[in-house]
Structures are given as C-alpha cells and as structure tokens.
C-alpha cells in the first residue's frame, strides 16, 4: 500500500508554533516582534515558521504605511477555508465545514472601524458590515484626521448596491466615551494613536493600504478602491461569522 501524504493544511498547521501563529493572525495582523512577544519565542524561529506559512499561501505580508521598515503579516482566511474543505474531502467525502452557525446574540454587536481620513477604507468597511451583518451588528467608522468622503469610495459601494454618498467623515474623538464590542483599525498609522475605549472591546488590526494614496485621478485610482472593497468584504464575511457565533456581552451604547 502506497503512503498517502497529509493534505497541505495539515502539513502547514500541524506544527505547534505554526498553529499558534495562525491563531494570532486569525485575530489581527501583526509584526514579527509583536508575535515574538506574544508567543515568547525568538525572532529567528518565528520568522522561519512565518516563512513556511507564507510559502504555503496561508500568510501574506505588506509593508507598513506608517513605517516602511515594518512588515505586517496577515492570515488569508479564504485560502485557509479552501484548504480546510480540501482536507476534509481528502479524508472522507462526507466531511466538510459546518454550514449552520450557532446564534448566541440577543443584541447587535457594536463595531467601530478606524483609519486616518475616514474617507475610504473605514467608510467602505462600515457599509459592507451593515450590508452583510444585517440586524446582528451596528457599524460605525471614524478617522484620526478626517477628510471628505472620497468619490471612489462612494462608487465602489454603489457597485455593491449601497449608497453612502450622504455620509460624513467623523473624528474618532466623537466615539471616545462610547462602548464597542470590536474596534478594528484599518490603517497602520491610526493603530499607533488609537485611544482606549471603555468596556474592554476586542481590538483588531487589518493592515489595509490606503487606496486614496494611489497617484492619478479618480478614473485611474478606482481599481485600487475596488480591490480595497474586495479585501474588506472577504475579511468582514468572516467577522460576521465570528460575531454571530459569540454570545452577547453586556455593552451599552454610551
């Protein structure tokens, strides 16, 4: 009988340290030194296993927009899901991910998205979460240095059937005393100045490049906004699943 190699996901995730790294990156994008501190492991070892995960397509990297010397690692949840399905099918055709998710919430989860200008990324994220999360969420967005809503952000959401043209940009200080279940920074710069919010919300960082920083006019830069919306939609689909599977915490709006 010929030997059967384990599926790719099992080979990559089966190592204890790589599994720990995947758990950390499933919650928030991170830099190597942060991951080393959280796991208590030397940088050389963490970097090696991150390289293995990256080579396997589970982890991607992006240079920080705040400090180009820093690199953020992020988990590709869609790719992980694909490999998970393939792994189940490789063992038995009846195995696969559960389709019905438990719903433990008695009130909507409050989610705040933050970026620098609140002109594109966080506005798009808010709109997508409202669209996908429905009654299970209340979504908000703000910026550390608000700018007018970018026309291409409006266009990108129009393509998804959502009109955000009348929304305004908001300074994050307007939400400083409010309570949230999740505070998600989308910008490397705003992550460094994000204040602490009451109620101990879960803080998450998604290192998303600013589409408005691309050179050119609205027509030339629109594809960057569409890519940003696509990346955010993929991440938010998993966030909605996470929200719907968690029981309600006692969090008030103000």
- Topology annotation, domain 8-91: Arc Repressor Mutant, subunit A (1.10.10)
Q: What is the pLDDT of residue 34?
A: 94
The C-alpha atoms of residue 4 and residue 201 are separated, in whole angstroms, by: 45
Q: Which residue has the higher pLDDT, 249 or 229?
A: 229
Q: Do domains 8-91 and 109-245 have the same CATH topology?
A: no
Describe the crossing of helices 151-158 and 121-133 by its angle, rounded to 10 degrees: 20
Assign 86 a pLDDT band (cuts: 50, 70, 90).
confident
> Which helix or strand (DSSP H or E) is residue 169 part of?
none
- C-alpha distances out from residue 169 to 120, 149, 154, 159, 222, Å: 9, 6, 13, 21, 20
- Topology annotation, domain 109-245: Rossmann fold (3.40.50)
The C-alpha atoms of residue 153 and residue 168 are separated, in whole angstroms, by: 12
Cβ proximity of 38 and 50 under 8 Å: no
Residue 139 φ/ψ, nearest 5 degrees: -110, 145
The catalytic residue among 77, 90, 132, 194 is 194
> Which helix or strand (DSSP H or E) is residue 68 part of?
none
The C-alpha atoms of residue 35 and residue 178 are separated, in whole angstroms, by: 29
The catalytic residue among 153, 157, 187, 239 is 187
The catalytic residue among 21, 59, 115, 156 is 115
Rounded mean pLDDT, 185-195: 91
Length of the chain in residues, anyone?
Answer: 254
Rounded mean pLDDT, 86-109: 68
Assign 126 a pLDDT band (cuts: 50, 70, 90).
very high
Quick check: 249 pLDDT over 80?
Answer: no
Beta bridge partners of 60: 74
CB atoms within 10 A of CB 74: 20
All structural domains of the chain with their residue ranges: 8-91, 109-245
The C-alpha atoms of residue 205 and residue 66 are separated, in whole angstroms, by: 14
Q: Is 194 a catalytic residue?
A: yes
DSSP 3-state of 130: helix
What does the DSSP 8-state code read for residue 134?
Answer: G
Quick check: 185 pLDDT over 90?
Answer: yes
Q: Is 115 a catalytic residue?
A: yes
Mean of the per-residue pLDDT values of the chain: 89
Q: What is the pLDDT of residue 65?
A: 85
The C-alpha atoms of residue 40 and residue 98 are separated, in whole angstroms, by: 33
């Amino acid at each position: 009988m010929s030997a059967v190699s384990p599926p790719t996901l099992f080979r990559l995730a089966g190592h204890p340290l790589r599994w720990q790294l995947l758990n950390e990156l499933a919650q928030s994008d991170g830099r190597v030194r942060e991951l080393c501190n959280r796991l208590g492991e030397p940088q050389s070892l963490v970097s090696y296993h991150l390289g293995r995960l990256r080579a396997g397509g589970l982890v991607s990297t992006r240079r920080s927009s705040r400090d180009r010397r820093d690199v953020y690692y992020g988990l590709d949840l869609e790719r992980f899901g694909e490999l998970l399905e393939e792994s189940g099918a490789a063992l038995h055709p009846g195995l696969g991910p559960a389709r019905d998710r438990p719903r433990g919430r008695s009130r909507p989860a409050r989610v705040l998205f933050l970026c620098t200008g609140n002109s594109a990324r966080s506005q798009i994220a808010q709109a997508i979460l409202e669209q996908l999360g429905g009654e299970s969420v209340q979504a908000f967005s703000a910026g550390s240095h608000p700018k007018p809503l970018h026309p291409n952000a409006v266009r990108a959401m129009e393509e998804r059937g959502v009109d955000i043209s009348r929304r305004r940009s908001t300074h994050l200080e307007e939400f400083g005393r409010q309570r949230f279940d999740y505070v998600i920074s989308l910008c490397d710069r705003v992550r460094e100045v994000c204040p602490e919010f009451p109620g101990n919300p879960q803080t998450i960082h998604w290192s998303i490049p600013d589409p408005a920083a691309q050179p050119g006019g609205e027509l030339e830069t629109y594809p960057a906004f569409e890519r940003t919306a696509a990346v955010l939609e993929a991440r938010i689909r998993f966030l909605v699943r996470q929200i719907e599977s968690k029981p309600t915490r006692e969090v008030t709006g103000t």
